[in-house]
Amino acid sequence: MTDAPTTAAFRCGYIAIVGRPNVGKSTLMNTLIGAKVSITSRKAQTTRHRITGIQTVPDAQFIYVDTPGFQTRHANALNKTLNKTVTNTLDSSDVILYLVEAGTFGPADQQVVDLLPKNVPVILVINKSDRVKDKAVLLPFAQQVAAKFDFAAVVPVSAKLRFQLDGLQNEIKRFLPENAPVFGEDDITDRSEKFLASEIVREKLFRFVGDELPYTSTVLIEKFEQEGNLRRVFAAILVERDGHKAMIIGNKGARLKEVSSQSRLDMERLFGGPVYLEIWVKVKSGWADNEAGLRAYGYE
């Protein structure tokens, strides 16, 4: 008499996504979980918080942690806080995804390699591999980067096109510990709607103000109310100078109106209901270099 086949144990763990700014960490996480919970922008250094995205499948729960890109450009209290977030996340993860952009490896990428712990499985993820016209150069590039650390696996992907993401998840699952799920099967993030609302507004700022936008601008939700299916959101954009305020408002308020309109549409898609949104701009000089102020605005 043979034993009945046993069901594979459920796996659950935290997966840190790290890399230099603008290699596609947020896009990768959003695509993996099938929802937009971490903001994206062509402007580098967009992500400022530890954002958790959750995907649950029949035999596993993947808890992805999108981190800020490791900051080297500005030496203020804000960036010291962001870098601390990166290192703390690495130390507490079960698996690490180290992202590089296909064909590009520079000093900023090496700085992140130097932070990688030796006691956690690290998967080298070569993103934007679809952009490499001559695929013959991908293998030598992968070998070049793989020689810099003892990676558990190497996976070329395109987060934007979903190329090889199933293969990446299979690799991740191999290293997840056997655990019961931490979150409900329908959860996609541990962040509140209020937090997600502030991130959506900040994303639109990056998109519509672009390179003119001062790096130290941020968004504060001053009031978030729900009446039935309607959400009322009152947001303040904080800048350090009057000139920055004028830049965001734009000619006759046109730019701020566009930011507000597109933010509201994104919130309605994410929250699944109507949103009333008011946004105004406030000048608060020195907020990004004040540690007490950073904590007050949600930076840990």
Question: Is 274 labelled a binding residue?
Answer: no
> Could you tell me if residue 234 is inside a domain?
yes
220 plus 293 within the same structural domain: yes
pTM summary value:
0.69
**Which pLDDT score, from 0 to 100, does residue 172 have?**
97
- Residue ranges in the chain whose pLDDT is less than 50: 1-7, 41-49, 71-74, 76-78, 287-290, 292-300
> Could you tell me if residue 4 is inside a domain?
no
Question: Is 19 labelled a binding residue?
Answer: yes
Report the CATH number at residue 91.
3.40.50.300
205 plus 292 within the same structural domain: yes
Instruction: List, for residues 119-160, the tens digit of each pLDDT value.
Output: 999 999 999 998 887 878 889 999 999 999 999 999 999 988
**Which pLDDT score, from 0 to 100, does residue 198 have?**
87
Instruction: List, for residues 253-296, the tens digit of each pLDDT value.
Output: 999 999 999 999 999 988 889 999 999 998 876 644 445 444 44
- Residue 273: partners with Cβ closer than 8 Å, 6 or more residues away: 229, 230, 231
**Which pLDDT score, from 0 to 100, does residue 171 have?**
96
The answer to whether 26 touches 39, Cβ cutoff 8 Å, is yes
State the maximum Cα–Cα separation within the chain, in Å, rounded to a whole number.
82
Question: Is 26 labelled a binding residue?
Answer: yes
117 plus 197 within the same structural domain: no
Q: Which domain holds residue 280?
A: 193-297
Question: Is 186 labelled a binding residue?
Answer: no
Distances (CA, A) of 183 to 8, 19, 118, 178: 19, 26, 28, 15
> Could you tell me if residue 256 is inside a domain?
yes
- Domain stop point among 119, 149, 175: 175
**Which pLDDT score, from 0 to 100, does residue 136 have?**
82
54 plus 90 within the same structural domain: yes
Question: Is 216 labelled a binding residue?
Answer: no
**Which pLDDT score, from 0 to 100, does residue 185 have?**
87
Question: Is 260 labelled a binding residue?
Answer: no
157 plus 246 within the same structural domain: no
Question: Is 25 labelled a binding residue?
Answer: yes
171 plus 201 within the same structural domain: no
Question: Is 21 labelled a binding residue?
Answer: yes
d(CA 21, CA 108): 8
37 plus 167 within the same structural domain: yes
Report the CATH number at residue 246.
3.30.300.20
**Which pLDDT score, from 0 to 100, does residue 84 have?**
62
**Which pLDDT score, from 0 to 100, does residue 279 have?**
94
33 plus 162 within the same structural domain: yes
**Which pLDDT score, from 0 to 100, does residue 216 have?**
59
**Which pLDDT score, from 0 to 100, does residue 86 have?**
62
d(CA 137, CA 103): 8
- Residue 298: partners with Cβ closer than 8 Å, 6 or more residues away: 49, 195, 198
Question: Is 70 labelled a binding residue?
Answer: yes
Question: Is 129 labelled a binding residue?
Answer: yes
Structural domains in the chain (count): 2
- Domain stop point among 125, 145, 175: 175
**To the nearest 10°, the Cα dihedral for 201, 202, 206, 209?**
60
136 plus 20 within the same structural domain: yes
Question: Is 20 labelled a binding residue?
Answer: yes
**Which pLDDT score, from 0 to 100, does residue 204 have?**
86
3-state DSSP of the chain: CCCCCCCCCCEEEEEEEECCCCCCHHHHHHHHHCCCCCCCCCCCCCCCCCEEEEEEECCEEEEEEECCCCCCCCCCHHHHHHHHHHHHHHHCCCEEEEEEECCECCHHHHHHHCCCCCCCCEEEEEECHHHCCCHHHHHHHHHHHHCCCCCCEEEECECCCCECHHHHHHHHHHHCCECCCCCCCCCCECCCHHHHHHHHHHHHHHHHHHHHCCCCCEEEEEEEEEECCEEEEEEEEEECCHHHHHHHHCHHHHHHHHHHHHHHHHHHHHHCCCEEEEEEEEECCCHHHCHHHHHHCCCC
143 plus 15 within the same structural domain: yes
Q: What angle do CA 201, 53, 233 make, to 5 degrees?
A: 30
Question: Is 128 labelled a binding residue?
Answer: yes
> Could you tell me if residue 273 is inside a domain?
yes
135 plus 276 within the same structural domain: no
Within its chain, how far is the Cα of 45 from the centroid?
A: 10
**Which pLDDT score, from 0 to 100, does residue 140 have?**
93
